[in-house]
Amino acid sequence: MRLVRYGRPGKEKPGLFDDEGRLRDLSGVVQDIDATLLGARALRKLAKVDVKTLPLVRGNPRLGVPVKGIGKFIGIGMNYADHVAETGAELPTEPVFFTKAVSCLNGPDDPIRLPKGSRKTDWEVELGVVIGTRAQYVSEDEALDFVAGYCVVNDVTERAYQFEMGSQWDKGKGCDTFGPVGPFLVTRDDVHDVQDLDLYLELNGKRMQTGNTSSMIFSVAQIVSYVSRFMTLEPGDIITTGTPPGVGLGRTPQRFLKKGDTLRLGIAGLGEQQAEVVAFPN
């Protein structure tokens, strides 16, 4: 299933896209796409609904973050060897992770707003993992059983805040609008092999990032298992799993986002985001 939340910010309704790519309303079946819907039993029940009986949604409404009530937004850093090389860092021996403030969550096509004083705001297309079942000290073998599904994430990052203002990556990761998620939450049963998904990102129509999740240093199963050793993962939590090469930081000359830029990014089978970069309002 391709689950979505659509409508004005703060007023989103639950929906899904059918096999023909048409948006259908789910509000007569579920109250929202949230933690109560993400467990295996609830998703199996939802999958039994006859999609053809759901009302079609007219027009092209705004899509919001596909999960409501996200508690934690965890990022994995340096998880593609080519990206590690372009940043001049050393290959990690264990997953590197950080937190993105949930206040940075943004709809997939909503504007990305440069923070005040931004000099080096960068892009990062990533695979997002949405937790479906409470996970604590789970093994790698069973880790994917705790996943509800997957989505596209843009781990927008202000590099000057990240690297030039002390050692706290979080400073550059959690600015408002720095966490576009969606368009869909694609349930785990509809993703054949999470370690074989193509990723891409274009800036102003020019391809910047091309990758595949097969190049991850640490797999999704390894990541979920590892993070669950250090914190309990709850339904609705998101882990974004690292970016392939091609970020602005790693280019020669370096290229960072500015007002008026447009981004187009996506992952095979998980949909696409398109966003404009805007300045912080005066």
Residue ranges of domains in the chain: 68-278
CA 106 to chain centre: 10
User: What's the rounded mean pLDDT across residues 189-198?
Assistant: 98
Question: Partners of 48 in the beta sheet?
Answer: none
**Higher-pLDDT residue of 168, 202:** 202
User: What's the rounded mean pLDDT across residues 273-277?
Assistant: 98
The yes-or-no verdict on residue 165 having pLDDT over 70 is: yes
User: What's the rounded mean pLDDT across residues 8-34?
Assistant: 97
The yes-or-no verdict on residue 4 having pLDDT over 70 is: yes
- Cα–Cα distance measured from residue 239 to residue 45, given in angstroms and rounded to the nearest whole number: 25
The yes-or-no verdict on residue 282 having pLDDT over 70 is: no
Domain 68-278 grouped into CATH 3.90.850.10: yes
Residue type present at position 151: C
pTM > 0.95:
yes
- Cα–Cα distance measured from residue 76 to residue 85, given in angstroms and rounded to the nearest whole number: 16
Residue 197, CA distances (Å) to 128, 150, 203, 227, 273 in order: 12, 11, 20, 22, 16
Residues in the chain: 282
Q: Is 257 left (phi over 0), alpha (psi -120 to 50) or beta?
A: beta
pLDDT score for 86: 84
The yes-or-no verdict on residue 168 having pLDDT over 80 is: no
Q: Is 260 left (phi over 0), alpha (psi -120 to 50) or beta?
A: left
- The confidence band for 90, taking pLDDT boundaries of 50, 70 and 90, is confident
* pLDDT tens-digit map of 214-250: 999 999 999 999 999 999 999 999 999 999 999 999 9
